Amino acid sequence: MKFTDGYWLKRQGMTVLHPAQLRDTSADEKTLTAYATTKPVRSRSDTLDTPLVTIKVEAPMPDVIKVTLGHFLGGAPTGPNFAITSEEHDVRVGDTELTSGRLTARFRTGEKWALDFEAEGKRLTGSGWRGMGIVDTADGEHFVHEQLDLGVGEAVYGLGERFGPLVKNGQSVDIWNEDGGTSSELAYKNVPFYLTNRGYGVLVDHPGKVSFEVASEMVSRTQFSVAGQTLSYFIVYGPTPADVLRKYTALTGRPALPPAWSFGLWLTTSFTTPYDEETVTSFVDGMAERDLPLSVFHFDTFWMREFHWCDFEWDPAIFPDPPGMLKRLHDRGLRTCLWINPYIAQRSAMFAEGLAQGYLVKKANGDVWQWDKWQAGMALVDFTNPQARSWYAAKLAGLVEMGVDAFKSDFGERVPTDVVWHDGSDPERMHNYYTQLYNQVVFDVLKEARGEGEAVLFARSATVGGQQFPVHWGGDNSATYESMAESLRGGLSLMSSGFGFWSHDIGGFEGRPDPAVFKRWIAFGLLSSHSRLHGNHSYRVPWLFDDESVEVLRSFTHLKYSLMPYLFEAARQAHEQGLPVMRPMILGFPDDPAVTHLDRQYLLGGDLLVAPVFSEGGEVSYYVPAGQWTRFANGEVVEGPGWRHETHGFDSVPLLVRPGAVLPIGNRTDRPDYEFADGVTLRLFSPAEGTTTVRVGESVFTVTRDGTAIRVDRDGPDLPWRVEIAGGASADLAAGDASWVAG
């Protein structure tokens, strides 16, 4: 939201109070509170009719500082609120500054008002002249804004899943979950958190609508604003972007570790296509006959009866024996997933149950909120009601008991604000937060039934904390190269916002991709953390496109399964450290200015560079950072830094290995879940001087280089293994061999 008319004036009808002078502070062991007048006080008479802005500074954990600013502080507390973790640590509080770890918030004294954030002897950012603002409009609305300085060359990333340019500078962004596809400024996953290439991140602690003006209204500042009389935000110090994500996810929650089987190939019935068990079986048979190893089969919407979504009952005309069918699929080594959403159609029996028990969201007059969009007369489950959560969870638990392994928790964005919630939550704050309650209910059902490490979703909507319930996919894209690229931008933006795992509809959701688009998308999809073939009006089995599509899908599926020892360790990093599996280049190379705006390539884990091909003819341009990189496919050395311009066939994509990497390669290509250390190959690429440690399943391998001598030691179960130096020596080792030396 914009408040100014150019640099000097306010917009018509707006009155804005700005802190002008620090008058007083108060402190205790953990908190510093500042009181700023909105005009300079030069005499006692200036204290009359002069508002105060109150700024409270505190620290929930090291290198993190929370700021709360406000005008009138007598408002009743409202929910919901983000779940924020805090930990005991030393906080140093002075008269005008508070320090947490290496991060300091310091108020300036004297005539020039400012709140500066400093770390390790340098200023990161701050709120200066007219940065903080308390806004009253002619219509009686109230807003609070903050503006934090941006330095020359400073780039902003994050704010959830956004399909425009990866760097947010120059953009206006409203944090408001919408079902808007992938081709507009709207987004399914809105996160009021950003990080910059200057060593810090910012989380606005407001679950409702937050408006960002990123180097737009004020081109040297990032502005954020909320409705009301107070605003809170956190400053998170890195110093690197990766460090910022580690600390941000410690603050808001780390992703659960998805099961290994979920990293395999998912195939769905597609959305509106007709299907029954015979159709499903024909797809599964067709994949097996063509050596296309499938991991998960997903049943989309019409597993339930039309106009009954969601009552969680199989359509008996199409699936007369669901338990038997699920068992038959399990007997073939497949997991199964069902589409669900939180909306209850009036035609379904669940609507009557929810109405009778008071489990559906109501309007102020006591009527259930309903409309006809999506499903006739649909209502919304009130997840703020503990009994409604239990009711909904029990329906899902019955399906899990039947044999279902995962749920695609679709929707969660179409949440009204003209309603009354069971727990009294503010409807504006609940709009975005609803998805957190929804996905947590679904995830907890799976975790309770399947156990820790076996729960996995395929979720569309999210907000702060949603990263705890993986996996998320990119929503309704289109069958074009442009949509393929916008999907990648959305994913990288989400990965910059604390999310560890991400997927997208291979081939595009809307429309039928031509074979070239489909084949190019396969490579991108199988080199993502999770991989799903899905569409709207047409099936996505590859033989319906051409024979080469089958070959391409087989090749890249086998490649991904062989990379599972490496990918699963990248997944552990997401779970334990908050680093995403798919990483914007800025996370891996924060000191290389050439990577600042790169949004058509990424790091898969820490050591693989992927540059998807977005053209039928195979032309692709990508940037290689400094060092001797190696093509994974053929061992060719590619010298960086510099740009590469290449042409690739459908069976190829730029996939480079970072210098110094130790890449564990599995010995299976038929499934993603196997004993990763059994027969693993450790492939060494220009081993770095010193020691590198790599975890593979329950084994830990230590690679030590001292000059020309290289030693590899294994600690773990007695399993056979292999060592290869790219372009050099190799050896097969028996189960009892615990070390290998070359040089």
In the chain the domains, ranked by start, together with CATH numbers, are 4-149+200-237 (2.60.40.1760), 260-455 (3.20.20.80), 675-742 (no CATH)
Cα separation, 560 vs 508, in Å, equals 20
pLDDT tens, position by position, 535-560: 999 999 999 999 999 999 999 999 99
Q: What is the pLDDT averaged over residues 321-340?
A: 98
Indicate yes or no: pTM above 0.75: yes
> Phi, psi (5° rounding) for residue 656?
-115, 150
Percent of the chain with pLDDT over 70: 100
Do 134 and 127 form a contact (C-beta atoms < 8 A)? no
Mean pLDDT on 564-586: 98
Q: State which H helix or E strand residue 279 sits in.
A: helix 277-289
All residues at 6 or more sequence positions from 386 whose CB lies less than 8 Å from its CB, including other chains = none
Model confidence at 111: pLDDT above 80: no
- Tell me: pLDDT of 728 over 90: no
Query: pLDDT for 414-441, tens place per residue?
Result: 999 999 999 999 999 999 999 999 999 9
- pLDDT(743) > 80: no
How much is the pLDDT for 409?
98
Q: Which residue has the tokens 């990508």?
A: 622
Let me know: does 224 contact 69? Beta carbons within 8 Å.
Answer: no
Taking only the tens place, the pLDDT of each residue in 454-510 is: 999 999 999 999 999 999 999 999 999 999 999 999 999 999 999 999 999 999 999
Q: What is the DSSP string of 517-580?
A: HHHHHHHHHHTSSSEEE--SSS---GGGT-HHHHHHHHHHHHHHHHTHHHHHHHHHHHHHH---
Distance CA 251, CA 575 (A): 14
Which one is catalytic: 476, 486, 510, 599? 476
476 classed as catalytic: yes
pLDDT digits (tens, 9 = 90+) for 589-619: 999 999 999 999 999 999 999 999 999 999 9
pLDDT at 513 (0 to 100)? 96
Buried b / exposed e along 251-282 (16+ C-beta atoms within 10 A): bbbbbbbbbbbbbbbbbbbbbebebbbeebee
pLDDT at 727: 85
Measured in residues, the chain has a length of 743
The pLDDT score that the predictor gives to residue 359 is 98
Percent above pLDDT 90 for the chain: 97
Q: How far is CA 636 from CA 144, 630, 645, 664, in A?
A: 56, 6, 15, 19
278 pLDDT tier (thresholds 50, 70, 90): very high
Cβ burial of 734 (10 Å; 0-12, 13-18, 19+) is: exposed
One of 410, 486, 510, 673 is an active-site residue; which one? 410
* Average pLDDT, integer, range 559-584: 98
- Tell me the pairing of strands 505-506 and 531-533: parallel
Q: Which one from 149, 413, 510, 678 is the annotated catalytic residue?
A: 413
Average pLDDT over residues 621-626: 98
Q: Residues 126-154: pLDDT tens digits?
A: 999 999 999 999 999 999 999 999 999 99
Is 410 labeled as catalytic in the residue annotation? yes
Structure tokens at 168: 């947010």
Q: What residues pair up with 161 in beta bridges, in sequence order?
A: none
Q: How far apart are CA 604 and CA 709, in angstroms?
A: 29
Q: pLDDT tens across 69-92, in order?
A: 999 999 998 999 999 999 999 999
Integer-rounded Cα radius of gyration of the chain = 27
Q: Find the mean pLDDT for residues 630-635.
A: 96
Given a cut of 80, is residue 15 above it in pLDDT?
Answer: yes
Helix, strand or coil for residue 609?
strand
Highest-confidence segment of 38-52, 105-119, 555-569: 555-569
Q: What is the per-residue pLDDT across 171-226, written as a single tens digit (0 to 9) for each?
A: 999 999 999 999 999 999 999 999 999 999 999 999 999 999 999 999 999 999 99
Tell me what pLDDT residue 444 has: 98
pLDDT at 588 over 90: yes
